[in-house]
Amino acid sequence: MFKKFALSAMVLLGVVAMPNAFAKNASSGVNEVDAVQVTTTYEGTMSVVMGTSSSSIQHTTEATPRGSNVDLFIENFSVGRMPAYIEVDAKNVIADGIARTYSNVVRFTFKGSSTSIYFSAEITVTAYDANTLVYTINVLEAEYQGAPFIATVNFNGTAL
């Protein structure tokens, strides 16, 4: 009888004291399972139109899922004689094929300078899954030395 009581008490203590991996963290209100995010790197062809010139390069994009949305990060790149490097850091992009505006997600950093300018962009993600990422980014109200210009990035890549 004592052995059954002791065993039952140990099991009960273990159940009560065991942390629940799926419980919300009381201090942050974040579900610990949701906090685990897997970033996938996609490599593919990036077509860039700047003003009247266009060029294509091989480049990568990092995509981190946020529920049904995605964070997109494109590390600095430059094409042709562009006077600046472009970097994109767009959070919580809706991946449903509809163009939406995201504020201050495109950064132009001028070559030979630490000066950066941020622009808003219209982003359309037309394909996003474990293997494929396809998107278009249209920079809004872009200008260089007071002259407005069109800047568009199209990407079609596959997961590495």
pLDDT digits (tens, 9 = 90+) for 85-98: 999 999 999 999 99
What separation in angstroms does the CA of 35 have from each of 22, 29, 66, 92, 118? 11, 11, 10, 15, 29
Domain boundaries, the chain: 40-159
| Tens digits of residue pLDDT in 10-25 | 443 343 344 444 444 4
pLDDT for the residue 12: 39
Q: Which residues of the chain have pLDDT under 70?
A: 1-36
Q: How far apart are CA 150 and CA 49, in angstroms?
A: 7
pLDDT for the residue 29: 52
pLDDT for the residue 25: 43
Closest CA to 61 of 83, 76, 81: 76
Neighbouring C-beta atoms of residue 61, cutoff 10 Å: 21
CATH architecture of 40-159: Beta Barrel (2.40)
